[in-house]
Chain A
Amino acid sequence: MKTREKKSVLKKLLAQRPVVLDGATGTELQKGGMPAGVCPELWAAAQPEALAAIQRRYFEAGADIVYSCTFGANRMKLAEFGAAERVRELNAALVAVARRSGSGLVAGDMGPTGQFIEPFGTVAFNDAVSVYQEQATALIAAGVDLLVIETMIDIQEARAALVAVREISDIPTLVTMTYERGGRTLNGTDPVAALITLQSLGADAVGCNCSTGPQDMAKIIAQMRPYATVPLAAKPNAGLPVLRDGRTFFDMGPEEFGAHVPALLAAGAALVGGCCGTTPAHIRAVKNAAASGAPFVATRPRLAALSSARRSLIFSETMPLVIVGECLNPTGKKALQQELREGNFALVQTLARDQEAAGAQLLDVNAGVAGIDEVKTLRDMVALLAVHAQSPLVIDSANPAAVEAALRVYPGRALINSISGETKKMEALLPLAAKYGALFILLPLEDGRVPLTAAERIAVVRKVFRAARRYGFTKQDFIVDGLVLTVSSSPAAARETLKFIAWNAQQFKTRTIAGLSNISFGLPNRPAANAVFLAMAQAAGLSAAILNPLREEAMLGALAGDVMMERDPAAARFIARAANAAAGTASAVPPAVHAAGESAVAVYRAVLEGRRQECAAAVSAALRAGIAADKLVVEVMIPAVTAVGELFDRKIYFLPQLLAGAETMKTACSLLEPYRQTTGPQAAPGVVILATVQGDIHDIGKNIVALLLKNHGFTVIDLGKDVAAAEILAQARRFENSVVGLSALMTTTMVRMPEIIEQARREGLACRFILGGAVVSESFARAQGAAYAADGVQAVRVIQGLVHQGV
């Protein structure tokens, strides 16, 4: 049978009624005598009758499609059993067994390789494609009616398998993923994102297997249904695993399993079978329950949507303006250019996350830096962002090789920026967009010409659309670039762009996108000009804007535009963003501080609320107001930092707030230092020697204590971490009556503490000890005759007490 006929057979079947898939094979083989730990494919090939009996029972139970027992018959899995060279032979033999077991359809089953594919893992994407291509070739040659890629825990591996198939055949292919209890795959892919990625990449059906029981799987199917352009498949386990005597069981019987099938069908499943724990009896129950089910009806031919490995963006007519973050374009950004030249992507990660935090829904990624390998750099950036960013990516390059490298490795459905009316661009990029299922930005440029009027641009749009349709694209598959030119050199630029955007929105019924900053080039106060143009473009029907989301005024402007265009119900998003109101953490300012005047209150508040940036101005103002530096420290700042400690004690503040206050205090103290009359060790309440004991490398807690002690006027001798006993004791001899603070985080290093204390006692040193650190308890400290503090604030109080006692 030819591929086209195979597609037609499946289509006809789906048009009649819900299609019934088979149930579990592995557990049935075990019941048939397969020992644990063996390779199921090798065992089944050696015992074909045992396998044939199971598959026959599935056909007899009513399965329309039975999977070949080739789940792990790929080179990588077979290598674990020393059978990597038997891919072709095993797949052929096992398909033959399924074929002779009944007259229904046989699906060539392909499961995971057991390895993680880049960008999440170490296996090169192309290597994974080769592995699956070898198996798919063998299965197709063996005469399967369709292929099934199943139990995928990683969207990238599912992509690799599907790309492998599509590069060699158009055979019907069903892809099913497995989801964790939270409804996402291990790598965070949700069912809708997976659906968008896989259906755009050419899967004939998408779904879910294993994962969970039928009730929860119905929820997963229901999530996908509104966005599915292909039939959905469900192969749940026989209920949720139950733990008994340390072992897990699936205990949902066939009758109960079958009772859940109508809910699966109602949720949108068009193909239903079973996974772990299901048997031919379960499949018979599915068959009976599905007999009266409605056939699959496609409700949505195409979907304008993008996906990453963790998120999706579905375009709709009423959605707010989509914000595309532009900061990952190195044009005019020296720091980013330098990092890309050095192959260092830390700034890329930071910019991605900052833009997402600021509200970007898509991230434009460009590697156009002179003198670098753009193909490699863009690919590496995309691979990195696939792991570290949430948002779908916009692949921004004029180089088709770079675009393909990026699309191939990207575990989602990307947006290509852009495909123009230039003949070479169309010829190179339209097939790529089709192969990888990408959306694209249609840039209304032609060979050697920038169309200035809306009418000229409309002609280019029609021309590109005609070419795109030959690859199966519809108006759902591209977004038209408004082509924003500079108004200072071309006075009609804004008017023509707005006219063009309005034509796309109202007449051609397609989406538009615009990069804003070009419009104001050469003008003063560009942000204001950009904001006005954005508002006008939104009014004309603009769907998406490429802008810098880190500019708050730009984001607020876009959100305000959504309010005006009735795309932000109750202005909720705008209000939430604009409000940004302080939660009101400050406690009352003491009367003595109030009495010292407004500038003293400002210093107090700066310390209390940890506002470092405001502290210098506040301190200067206080000095100008005639408040003496010593008074400011003693009567304003120390009460403020003490209040911070109290708020921390009451858990109203947590550690970052405590330290923000402490650092503000430190900054203020250093500013006041030249003006103080009583400075230096003589004025200090005491000397504290701090050290993390020998062998221990953890010192952040000790450093917090040092900062807080300094803020309370103590002289701190910080010896650092991994400090030998001899060095600590030498300092204790030097500073008589000092307090020695020892820190340890590990059980193997805390044993140094009693050794040091013992040695100090033997020498008759007058110092007192205080111990702290994760493994140190109060009882341990007491047993050594030392004081104890659980945190920095407590340490300051305990040390103040030790110094006050003067013991």
Chain B
Amino acid sequence: MIKRQRFERIPLDIPWRRIYYRLGFADGKTALAAEQQRQIDECICRASALVQVQAVYARAAFELQTDEQVGLEDGTVFRSRSVADLLRGAVEILIMAATAGAEIMARIRQLQAEGRMQEAVIYDATASELSDAALDWLMDYVRRAVVRENKSVTARRFSAGYGDFPLENQGLIFKLLALTELGVRLNAQHIMEPEKSVSAVAGIVQRQEL
């Protein structure tokens, strides 16, 4: 049975730069008055206070690894050259997901309904970047946790819906990680709800000392 580890609180610093970039800020071009920046920063603070990042990961051994697919110990098969390429040389797969929670999404909907689009987009960008930052954190955590097993984690990760890794694979990840326990649902189009929920796979590789 594939074991999962779940995190109900992840201490993330607000990824200010990433949020600004997501909102279209261009270094050396965008001009922002101090008062405007203060208002935007306060809005990001309020948004991040509503984000309740939860995350989960699982490690699984491979049953099958070819150039086009990888099969896991529980029978799950991911068919994707990109994923197979990422996992080439790996001894395990790391499957992970994070969600920003329902509260922030409810607030974003409310802001839109009230016509407060500026705040809505800032909240939206904050939630997106915090979800992504949670996956970064999770990879760092696993990287640190496997050091004593003489292993490491690939620098890159791959998400369903990109390249030749169809979004349909999100269903497999959803099931493997039991994402319902995080309050996440999957609709018929394989989109996770709450909207700011992300998933990915990476590889765990063996290290070797000289």
Contacts and interface: CB of A to CB of B under 8 A. Distances in A.
- Asked whether A and B interact, the reply is yes
Contact of B45 (A210, A251, A350): A350
A525 interface: no
B46 interface: yes
B45 A353 contact: yes
Contacts of A111: 148
Given A387-B11, A695-B189, A748-B189, A652 B29 contact: yes
Contact of B147 (A247, A276, A655, A697): A276
A156 to B, nearest CB: 10
A357 B49 CA distance: 13
B10 A241 contact: no
A426 B190 CA distance: 60
A506 B144 CA distance: 49
Contacts of B5: 115
Contacts of B187: 695, 697
B167 interface: yes
B200 interface: no
B76 to A, nearest CB: 19
Contact of A26 (B34, B35, B148): B148
A249 B29 CA distance: 43
Contact of B168 (A250, A585, A748): A748
B115 A663 contact: yes
Contacts of A663: 115-118
B148 A72 contact: yes
Interface in B151-189: 152, 161, 166-168, 187-189
Interface string B92-111: 00000000000100001000
Interface in A660-683: 660, 662-663, 666
A188 B140 CA distance: 12
Main SS at interface, chain A: loop
B112 A651 contact: no
Contacts of B38: 580
A210 B43 CA distance: 39
Given A249-B207, A696-B189, A388 B118 contact: no
Interface residues of A, number: 82
Contacts of B202: none
Contacts of A507: none
A120 interface: yes
Interface string B1-43: 0000111111101000000100111100111111110101111
A370 interface: no
Interface in A238-280: 238, 241, 246-251, 276-277
B31 A655 contact: no
B8 A121 contact: yes
Contacts of A248: 152, 205, 207-208
A657 interface: yes
A37 interface: yes
A309 interface: yes
B145 A703 contact: no
A186 B189 contact: no
B35 A120 contact: no
A657 B49 contact: no
A153 B209 contact: no
Contacts of B210: 249-251, 277
A153 B144 contact: yes
B150 interface: yes
A119 interface: yes
How would you classify the secondary structure of chain B's contact residues: helix, strand, loop or mixed?
Answer: mixed
A119 B115 CA distance: 37
Contact of B149 (A36, A249, A309, A697): A36
Given A249-B210, A747-B167, A703 B117 contact: yes
Contacts of A747: 161, 166-167
A75 to B, nearest CB: 17
B209 A695 contact: no
Contact of A36 (B30, B35, B191, B206): B206
Given A241-B152, A748-B190, A704 B121 contact: yes
Contacts of B189: 695-696, 746, 748-749
Nearest to A774: B161
B124 interface: yes
Given A249-B209, A663-B115, A749-B189, A36 B150 contact: yes
Nearest to B21: A654
A697 B192 CA distance: 9
Contacts of A652: 29-31
A27 interface: yes
B47 to A, nearest CB: 10
A114 interface: yes
- Among A310, A579, A749, max chain B CB count under 10 A is at A749
A298 B181 CA distance: 51
A704 to B, nearest CB: 6
A353 B48 contact: yes
A121 B138 CA distance: 12
Contacts of B84: none
A111 B49 CA distance: 33
B77 interface: no
Nearest to B29: A651
Given A251-B210, A350-B49, A746-B161, A120 B11 contact: yes
B120 interface: yes
Contacts of B32: 583, 585, 654, 657
Interface in A15-62: 24, 26-27, 30, 36-37
26 contacts: A71-B148, A118-B9, A120-B7, A246-B205, A247-B207, A247-B208, A250-B209, A349-B49, A580-B38, A581-B34, A585-B32, A651-B24, A656-B121, A657-B36, A659-B117, A663-B117, A663-B118, A666-B115, A700-B108, A703-B112, A703-B117, A704-B117, A707-B115, A746-B161, A746-B190, A749-B189
Given A251-B210, A655-B125, 5 more contacts: A121-B7, A180-B140, A610-B118, A654-B32, A656-B23
The 3 closest A-B pairs by CB, nearest first: A349-B49, A695-B189, A659-B118
